[in-house]
Amino acid sequence: MFTNVSTFLPYMMTGLIVTVQVFLVSVLIAYSIAFIAGMGRASHHVAIRGVSTVFVELFRGTSLLVQMFFFAYALPLIVPNLAMSTFMAGALAIGLNYGAYASEIVRSAIQSVGHGQTEAAISLNMSKWQRMRFVILPQAIRLMLPGFGNNAIELLKGTSLVYFISLADMTFRANVLRGSYTSLSNQIEIYFYLLLMYFVLALPLIFLARKFEKRAGKGVRTS
């Protein structure tokens, strides 16, 4: 066992770039959506809050894998002009799905800022946008960071699902090897390396999440 490292690992590493690219694009989409939907759900306008709620519940209440299939295979049939690559379909589905979950982090953080802060900003004749930008968000972002760190770790693990839409990431490469090396020891070795590669990728995110948690906790104690 573990005698084919020079064969298996380099081949699986060829999918590393795809995994990282999907992760980075998905994170960008997810956190953009998180702020838009989260602030929308915290809005006092019924229409904005309603649209944001429908979006969040739609993507939280349906399967991420089915969402990938929809963007990759169904959407081009419904709207031909919106046809996209499997890479973009996978990254978009992951970003929207995890962005919907992260929007709850944004909403709860905004609503946790004390009403006294808003009242003080109103007394200074600040507009709603100024109150949000200069008073509420700076305090809320500190509270969002731990949740965002954990969300990013979960998102990274979710990128393995792009294998199902034939995107050649690390999981796809591992399954190609599994089809060629069918002995039990080889398959154990293949998936051990795959687990290890995902863990190494997640390790910096784990440390960042812990750092953010400590910073957020310190901010709470000193407030």
% of the chain beyond a pLDDT of 70: 96
Q: Which pTM does this prediction carry?
A: 0.90
Q: Go through the domains of the chain in sequence order and give each one's CATH number.
A: 5-222 (1.10.3720.10)
pLDDT at 221: 45
The list of the chain residues with pLDDT below 50 reads 221-223
Q: At what angle do helices 16-41 and 86-112 cross, to 10 degrees?
A: 40
**Separation of alpha carbons 132 and 140, rounded Å:** 10
The pLDDT tens digits for 82-128 are: 889 999 999 999 999 999 999 999 999 998 887 777 777 777 878 77
